[in-house]
A and B are shown apart, each in its own frame.
Chain A
Amino acid sequence: MSKKITVGPAGYMPQSAPSMGVELAPEGKALLYGNIVEEEEAMRDAARALLTNENPTIFPGPQVLWDWKDDVKEKAAAIVELASEIPNCKIIPMPDYRPKYPKIDVKAEINPNHPNLTILDNNIKAAVFVGVHCHYANLSLRMIRAGTDCYTVALCAYMGHEEAMASIRDLHAEDLRKFKEIVIEERNKMGIEWTTTPPPANPSLPKEDYTALSPADYGEYRSLIMSQKGEHVAEVE
């Protein structure tokens, strides 16, 4: 198979996968290195990458982090089950899409506006995107392909992602469990010994202390600070 999309770094100004002729896989199929393949083939390649590359990490997005739809709880549980079968796998969430540069805590989260910071700082060589809205997943996956040598897997509830090395579409909890079983099979084939172990707790962000904020902290935006109802602001610059 000729690989249309490969592990990066693709370089300073990446070309998008669709502009290189990669098309989304039709229903029932998957994408592997930009080629349309059977879903199982893509899952097996992704499983091998997650088992053999350094610091495999799952990046769950808002669609699986908040219990906002009937199927989310089961899907989220299946993600933790998957992570538990990948040796030394971490879970680093993408809780929202607001840019946080330069304040991002790369041990605790990833952000679509500068995903490379988290990938590079943690030396992540295999990553799974799941539950990230498609627009942001496409941007992040392309930036990761541009600036890192990380193998990317997209597990998408909709149509998948051209930018990932392996892309699975129409993902439900049962597909995640099928992927988990494939990970176990490949792990056993490789002779990797591993006892099912949940990923380590996330070093979540420290609480911000808003009481210590002053208008000066808002810099050029200080003129936009609105007072609370009934609040009288006496101290201004």
Chain B
Amino acid sequence: MSQNETPKLEKKLVDINYLLKEAPREQHFITGAQAMAEAVKRASVDMAIAYPITPQSEVMHLVGDIYAQGHIKEYYRAEEELGTMSAIAGAARAGVRLFTATSGPGLLRGLEAIVSWPGHRVPAVLGVLTRVVNAPLSIQPDNVEMAYLLHSGIVVLHAENQQDTFDMTLAAFAIADRVDVYIPVAVATEGFFVTHAKGYVDMTPEDMALTEFDPIAAPVPAMDNETPPARIQRDAPVQKSNFMSYLIHSVWQQEIWDSNKRAMKYIYEYLGGPIEVINPDAEVFVCASGCAAAQAREAQRYSTEEGLNVGLIKVKAIKPFPEEELRDIVKNAKTIIVPEHNAIGWLAKEVKAAIPNSGIVVDGPKVYGGMTLPVELIMKEVYDALGIENDLKL
């Protein structure tokens, strides 16, 4: 085999519902970075474009290995993040399935291109392996960068652990491809806490993959010179604003958010819904996403062992945000505690905006800059909410 020749792999191509819900699974003990790369391996990805940054680097390093093994058709390293994200937009015009990943400052450097993806109808999957945003310089986990994605129109999923990372990444490709969605889907999880720690992941067989991308079943034409008419390129109105009416830009923006909203039915179909709830009749809820949901889960378990009526709401989909689901589940709640791995409390803000009685939301506990989230921090808020005296030394 020559240097540039990749082996041809025989794979059974299956529907996403079969892949996620029915396909046989085998348990592996792997890192979050491995879980994301293993999902990419099973997603019939056409092209992946890499640019390294800690703690994401492992993901695209492993995706590079997958390319060498023949699971991906094209792979290269771009010059920096803006170039990476712009190249993803360019590649999307040819009508292919795309993947890239980044972290913290890298995400922000690529943001100008990333936020244009929904408007350009780029159905790429973006891994966001969260990290502190400078300054001061740090590579530690902190998910403040996700706040910058929440108003971009991109669908944002937040993985709690390695298993979520695998399942959500696979589902993300199927959601992004749908003709009524066709905007990018970001799968975020905490750098190091998930990317560099191992957990059990039930994975589908390596020789089974998602059906291939269909560039014809798209809401916009691919700029494919072999498919006439090649002249109907889709970016002209965006790029020549002096030749378009203002109203087209307005309805175009609306269409992005409508597409984002339409993703919700697929989040139900592929991932069982945007939230997971334990003890729906609880008086006090701990509501969290991503890695913080793992700590919230522990706090809920501690509380149950202590006989306290505490529930868990794990938010899996940040955009579209599960407003109705949340309103329904907390309608009788007294307090909602929102632990987060960032300083601004973006999840608490979303929760407050979604419910009529935002005064019941406790904006915290929040840890950031790489600090861990001890369960005791959440328990202190639980005790305070229930009026229970405690001697937690925190």
Tell me the complex Cα distance, A97–B219, Å.
12
Given contacts A66-B229, A95-B229, contact A16 B243 (CB under 8 A): no
Whether B345 sits at the interface, judged by CB under 8 Å, is no
- Cβ contacts under 8 Å, A135 to chain B: 121, 182, 219-220, 234, 255
Tell me the complex Cα distance, A147–B121, Å.
25
Whether B147 sits at the interface, judged by CB under 8 Å, is no
Complex interface residues of chain B between 344 and 361 (CB less than 8 A to chain A): none
Whether A142 sits at the interface, judged by CB under 8 Å, is yes
Partner of B262, one of A18, A68, A133: A18
- Cβ contacts under 8 Å, B221 to chain A: 62, 97, 133
User: Which residue of chain A is the closest to B261 with respect to CB atoms?
Assistant: A18
Tell me the complex Cα distance, A178–B258, Å.
31
- Cβ contacts under 8 Å, A134 to chain B: 179-180, 219-220
- Cβ contacts under 8 Å, B265 to chain A: 23
Given contacts A135-B255, A139-B252, A158-B180, contact A99 B247 (CB under 8 A): no
Whether A98 sits at the interface, judged by CB under 8 Å, is yes
Per-residue CB proximity of A92-125 to B under 8 Å, as 1/0?
Answer: 0001111111000000000011100000000000
Tell me the complex Cα distance, A158–B262, Å.
14
Tell me the complex Cα distance, A113–B255, Å.
14
Given contacts A24-B180, A97-B237, contact A146 B255 (CB under 8 A): no
- Cβ contacts under 8 Å, B244 to chain A: 99, 101, 113-114
Whether B250 sits at the interface, judged by CB under 8 Å, is yes
Whether B240 sits at the interface, judged by CB under 8 Å, is yes
Are A136 and B258 closer than 8 Å at their CB atoms?
Answer: no
Are B248 and A112 closer than 8 Å at their CB atoms?
Answer: yes
Are A142 and B254 closer than 8 Å at their CB atoms?
Answer: yes
Given contacts A16-B255, A99-B243, contact A68 B179 (CB under 8 A): no
User: Which residue of chain B is the closest to A22 with respect to CB atoms?
Assistant: B258
Shortest distance in angstroms between B220's beta carbon and chain A's nearest beta carbon? 5
- Cβ contacts under 8 Å, A13 to chain B: 250
Complex interface residues of chain A between 4 and 28 (CB less than 8 A to chain B): 13-14, 16-19, 23-24
Whether A189 sits at the interface, judged by CB under 8 Å, is no
Are A133 and B237 closer than 8 Å at their CB atoms?
Answer: no
Are A62 and B218 closer than 8 Å at their CB atoms?
Answer: no
Given contacts A68-B227, A99-B243, contact A159 B254 (CB under 8 A): no
Tell me the complex Cα distance, A97–B243, Å.
12
Interface contacts (Cβ under 8 Å), in number, total 103
Whether A55 sits at the interface, judged by CB under 8 Å, is no
Whether A35 sits at the interface, judged by CB under 8 Å, is no
Q: Interface size of A by Cβ–Cβ distance < 8 Å?
A: 35
Complex interface residues of chain A between 136 and 180 (CB less than 8 A to chain B): 136, 138-139, 142-143, 146-147, 158-159, 162
Best-buried of B182, B236, B251 by chain A (most CB within 10 Å) = B251
Given contacts A66-B229, A138-B255, A146-B247, contact A133 B180 (CB under 8 A): no
Shortest distance in angstroms between A234's beta carbon and chain B's nearest beta carbon? 29
Determine chain B's interface SS by DSSP, over half rule.
loop
User: Which residue of chain B is the closest to A112 with respect to CB atoms?
Assistant: B248
Whether A69 sits at the interface, judged by CB under 8 Å, is yes
Tell me the complex Cα distance, A95–B37, Å.
42
Shortest distance in angstroms between A163's beta carbon and chain B's nearest beta carbon? 9
Given contacts A113-B248, A114-B245, A143-B248, contact A16 B232 (CB under 8 A): no
Given contacts A101-B245, A158-B180, contact A66 B228 (CB under 8 A): yes
- Cβ contacts under 8 Å, B179 to chain A: 134, 158-159
- Cβ contacts under 8 Å, A138 to chain B: 219, 251, 255, 258
Tell me the complex Cα distance, A114–B245, Å.
7
Partner of B233, one of A69, A98, A139: A98
Whether B8 sits at the interface, judged by CB under 8 Å, is no
Shortest distance in angstroms between B322's beta carbon and chain A's nearest beta carbon? 16
- Cβ contacts under 8 Å, A99 to chain B: 236-237, 240, 243-244, 248
Tell me the complex Cα distance, A147–B248, Å.
12
Tell me the complex Cα distance, A13–B216, Å.
32
Tell me the complex Cα distance, A100–B228, Å.
20
Whether B257 sits at the interface, judged by CB under 8 Å, is yes
Per-residue CB proximity of B186-211 to A under 8 Å, as 1/0?
Answer: 00000000000000000000000000
Per-residue CB proximity of B107-138 to A under 8 Å, as 1/0?
Answer: 00000000000000100000000000000000
Whether B23 sits at the interface, judged by CB under 8 Å, is no
Shortest distance in angstroms between B229's beta carbon and chain A's nearest beta carbon? 6
Whether B94 sits at the interface, judged by CB under 8 Å, is no
Shortest distance in angstroms between B247's beta carbon and chain A's nearest beta carbon? 6
Whether B231 sits at the interface, judged by CB under 8 Å, is yes
Tell me the complex Cα distance, A113–B219, Å.
16
Q: A99-B244, A134-B220, A146-B247 are in contact. List 11 more A-B contacts (CB 8 A).
A: A13-B250, A66-B228, A66-B229, A95-B229, A98-B232, A98-B237, A101-B243, A133-B219, A138-B251, A143-B251, A158-B180
Interface residues of A (CB under 8 A from B): 13-14, 16-19, 23-24, 62, 66, 68-69, 95-101, 112-114, 133-136, 138-139, 142-143, 146-147, 158-159, 162
28 CB < 8 A contacts A-B = A13-B250, A16-B254, A16-B255, A18-B262, A19-B254, A62-B229, A68-B227, A96-B229, A97-B232, A98-B233, A99-B244, A99-B248, A101-B243, A113-B237, A113-B243, A113-B244, A113-B245, A133-B220, A135-B219, A138-B251, A138-B258, A139-B252, A139-B255, A142-B251, A142-B255, A143-B248, A158-B217, A158-B219
9 smallest beta-carbon distances between A and B, as pairs: A134-B219, A135-B219, A18-B258, A96-B232, A16-B254, A99-B243, A98-B236, A158-B179, A99-B244
